[in-house]
Amino acid sequence: DADVTQTPRNRITKTGKRIMLECSQTKGHDRMYWYRQDPGLGLRLIYYSFDVKDINKGEISDGYSVSRQAQAKFSLSLESAIPNQTALYFCATSTGPNTEAFFGQGTRLTVV
């Protein structure tokens, strides 16, 4: 089983719908991240959490919200999806500052 699991793997949704992407991890790491990948732009950080009570905005948080339900679970929500949120979304975990991040398989989201 994967250490960092994202669900769903693929999702098509309509403009204006609310959608939640889920991430769970079995690595026991305190730090969790949500990144968005777009062609030619690399990975951009949406939100990150250093523990259950510590959640921070990344560089592109507008239009997104997160919830850290437990050490192992970190969910990303799009309150009202729009087409330019169509992207590949990655969840990642790490043990501490400047350590390597471990990534999930990604969720491909299409907003039509």
- Residues making contact with another protein (CB under 8 A): 4, 33, 35, 40-45, 48, 50, 56, 58, 90, 92, 94, 96-101, 103-106
Nearer to another protein, 72 or 92 (CB): 92
Minimum separation from the CB atom of position 56 to another protein (A)? 8
Nearer to another protein, 17 or 44 (CB): 44
Rounded to whole angstroms, the Cα distance separating 94 from 111 reads 29
Minimum separation from the CB atom of position 50 to another protein (A)? 6
Rounded to whole angstroms, the Cα distance separating 10 from 35 reads 16
Sign, CA torsion 31/26/110/82: negative
Minimum separation from the CB atom of position 2 to another protein (A)? 9
Rounded to whole angstroms, the Cα distance separating 78 from 32 reads 18
Rounded to whole angstroms, the Cα distance separating 32 from 72 reads 9
Minimum separation from the CB atom of position 21 to another protein (A)? 14
Rounded to whole angstroms, the Cα distance separating 51 from 108 reads 26
Nearer to another protein, 85 or 93 (CB): 93
